[in-house]
Amino acid sequence: MVLEGFRREVTVNEPCRLEGIKPNNLYSSTKEFKEAGKQRLSLDTTRDDTRQEIAALKRESAGLRYLVAELSLDLHRLKKTSIPSLDEIAANV
């Protein structure tokens, strides 16, 4: 009945008379229906924004993990090729 009113297929009085309800009740139900639809649409938009933010954060996290791995490898290589410390030299003498 609410959808018929949205489509303007019939006048408001006709379905109200058939269903035995007052036109004011139909108007308030229609208004609630529209508001619920708007609320749902705004939540979907928020949810889409959140998904995009999560995807961006995951990409950033992957990049940072890669950077940490590269720096760890560089540090490991430097330790292997660095000049021995005085303690190491004294131990070898």
58 pLDDT above the threshold of 80:
yes
In the chain, alpha helices (H): 2-7, 13-19, 23-81, 86-92
* Cα end-to-end span (Å), the chain: 98
Predicted local distance difference test score (pLDDT) of residue 61: 96
Burial 22-58 (b: 16+ CB within 10 A, else e): eeeebeeebeeeeeeeeeeeeeeeeeeeeeeeeeeee
Answer for the pair 2, 30: CB distance below 8 angstroms, yes or no.
yes
Q: Regarding predicted confidence, which is higher, 25 or 54? A: 54
Query: Where are the domains positioned within the chain?
Result: 2-82
The arithmetic mean of pLDDT across residues 43-70, rounded, is 86
The arithmetic mean of pLDDT across residues 61-83, rounded, is 90
Predicted local distance difference test score (pLDDT) of residue 44: 64
46 pLDDT above the threshold of 70:
no
pLDDT bucket at 63, cuts 50 / 70 / 90: very high
> Which pair of structure tokens corresponds to residue 34?
């529209």
Predicted local distance difference test score (pLDDT) of residue 3: 63
